[in-house]
Amino acid sequence: MAGNWDIRRYGSIGSTNDEARALALAGAADGTVVVAEGQTAGRGRAGRNWFSPEGKGLYCSLVARPGRAKEECPSLALVAGLAVCDACETFVEIPAQVKWPNDVWLAGKKVCGILTELVARPNRPIVVIVGIGINVNLRADDLPAELHPTATSLAIARGQPLDRELVLQAVLRTWALRYGKWRAGGFAALRADYYARAAIEGHRVAVSFGTERCEGIVRGVDERGALLLERAPGVVEAIIAGDVEAL
> In angstroms, what CA-CA distances link 9 with 25, 38, 75, 131?
18, 11, 27, 14
- How far apart, in whole angstroms, are the C-alpha atoms of residue 85 and residue 173? 12
What's the gap between Cα 226 and its chain centre?
15
* Separation between Cα atoms, residue 20 and residue 61, nearest integer Å: 6
Residue 81 binds to ligand BTN (criterion: CB under 6 A):
no
One residue of 74, 81, 101, 131 binding ligand BTN per CB under 6 A: 131
Q: Which of 17, 32, 116, 153 is close enough to bind ligand BTN by CB under 6 A?
A: 17
Contact between 45 and ligand BTN (CB under 6 A)? yes
Kindly state whether residue 133 participates in binding ligand BTN, applying the rule CB under 6 A.
Answer: yes
CB 53, min distance to ligand BTN, A: 12
Q: Does 15 bind ligand BTN (CB under 6 A)?
A: yes
Work out which of 5, 10, 38, 44 binds ligand BTN, going by CB under 6 A: 44
Provide φ and ψ at 15, rounded to 5°. Answer: -140, 130
In 3D space, the residue among 96, 95, 135 whose CA is nearest the CA of residue 113 turns out to be 135
Nearest approach in angstroms of CB 98 to ligand BTN is: 12
* Smallest separation (angstroms) from ligand BTN to the CB of 103: 6
CB-nearer residue toward ligand BTN: 50 or 186 = 50
Binder among 115, 170, 171, 200 for ligand BTN (CB under 6 A): 115
Tell me the site size for ligand BTN, rule CB under 6 A: 21
Pick the closer one to ligand BTN by CB: 66 or 131: 131
Q: Residue 235: how many CB atoms within 10 A of its CB?
A: 9
Nearest-CA neighbor of 167 among 225, 104, 118? 104
SS3 112: strand
